[in-house]
Amino acid sequence: MADARDVHHHVLLRMRGGAVRVARMLMDHHSGSWRTGLSFEIDDCGSACDTDPLYDSDRLCVAGAVGGHDPGASLVHVHGTQDWLGLLSSFSATARPFLITVHDCSLITGGCVYPVFCSHHLRNCEDPCPRCYPQSEMNRAQKLRAVSAAKPVLVSPSSWLATMLRREWPGASVRVIPNGVDLPLRNMTKAEARSRFGIAPSARVALFLAHGGAHAAYKGGDLVESLLARIAGMVPGTLGIVAGGGGGERREGLLTLPYLGGEQLEALLFAADVLVYPSLSDNHPLVVLEAMAHGLPVAAYAVGGIPEQVEQGKQGVLVPVMAEDKLVKAVATILNDASLAKAMGDSSREKAARHFTSARMARDYEKLYERMLRPSS
């Protein structure tokens, strides 16, 4: 018989991205009475995982087998897949409890991770899809039916996406559990952090951070270099940093860095003065929470769940989506006003510690697991 306190996490990518980071934070912070396992569909680790004990117990699993994977676990927590239909069908014929944390909009669209400026999914996806997703309406309709048949518990990190999920499945169980992040283990001085990247102590540093860097399209990656150049034009001495993409490059006023983790990411966040986040759509981004946890003000578009993280004028400045002039002005204002930047940074750190920790997130999920495993009366 399965241990009633076993939970298995399933992710799409083994190493990178917000969904797998949430899964691994939950595994790290589950109380000792919970046994955990993790399976993945795509190995994006390469040699990085060969000698790291963190990844030793991970198991490759195709989407259509997730419902039967790790039979010793009494419930499965799904964080993503490349094949929603295959994954959902693997559960629909069983009574095995499972939940899905819906990290993006792919479950309710014909293919888009985020619809951004397309509203067809609110009615029927258009065929042919203007974004070239094949058979978009058929795929969307099949996913909606598959969720209805499999009856998972749905969790959204934001109220924004939870509202969309409830509109698609009025009778479904939809919970909101905000994301959390690990708080810094130690405070690093700005000078110490900057020395690691060769950044001048007097520089004003505007950071853009996203998986994919300048190629992170819906996160505004294609806009960020021009935005940072405009900011530097308004605030002399500004260094723009774009991190999360490919190899590193340094040129006048701009530093590009690859995907960073661990101590390198910690140092980068301590080195910056403001997070610039021109995402066109987002759920409850970890990068915003991490910036807040490190005492950074945030300048971002007011989209998706970001207003649930950042209060206007308190932890940063939010502007309407695609209002580039207002975003540039917001960043320049923060960089030019040290007392304002400090007040916003202090408020960010305090709010992250109060509401957005990984430990709190794990406790909230454990309460949900317990309810799911409680025998029906």
pLDDT in tens, 91-145: 987 888 999 999 999 999 998 899 888 876 677 788 788 888 888 899 999 999 9
Beta bridge partners, 204, equal 238
The residue ranking higher by pLDDT, 221 or 360, is 360
The reply to whether 185 falls in a domain is no
pLDDT digits (tens, 9 = 90+) for 260-305: 888 899 999 999 999 999 999 999 999 999 999 999 999 999 999 9
Residues 6+ apart with CB under 8 A from 124: 137, 140, 141
**Do 75 and 159 have their domain in common?**
yes
**Do 176 and 224 have their domain in common?**
no
Residue 212 has pLDDT above 50, yes or no: yes
Residue 367 CB coordination number (10 Å): 12
Residue 17 CB coordination number (10 Å): 19
- Whether 308 and 159 have beta carbons less than 8 Å apart is answered as yes
Q: 24 is in which domain, residue-wise?
A: 3-180+358-373
Residues 6+ apart with CB under 8 A from 118: 112, 130, 131
Domain of 350: which CATH number?
3.40.50.2000
Residue 4 has pLDDT above 70, yes or no: no
CA-to-CA distance for 356 and 352, rounded, in angstroms? 5
What band does 314 get if pLDDT is binned at 50, 70 and 90? very high
**Do 166 and 18 have their domain in common?**
yes
The total of structural domains in the chain comes to 2
CA-to-CA distance for 215 and 47, rounded, in angstroms? 23
**The pLDDT value given to residue 377:** 42
**Do 194 and 317 have their domain in common?**
yes
**Do 151 and 198 have their domain in common?**
no
Is 253 exposed, middle or buried (CB count within 10 Å of its CB: 0-12, 13-18, 19+)?
middle
Residue 3 has pLDDT above 60, yes or no: no
**Do 194 and 72 have their domain in common?**
no
Average pLDDT for the chain: 91
The reply to whether 223 falls in a domain is yes
Which pTM does this prediction carry? 0.93
- Whether 128 and 253 have beta carbons less than 8 Å apart is answered as no
pLDDT digits (tens, 9 = 90+) for 331-361: 999 999 999 999 999 999 999 999 999 999 9
**Do 133 and 219 have their domain in common?**
no
- Whether 224 and 232 have beta carbons less than 8 Å apart is answered as no
For range 317-323, the mean pLDDT: 96
For range 217-242, the mean pLDDT: 89
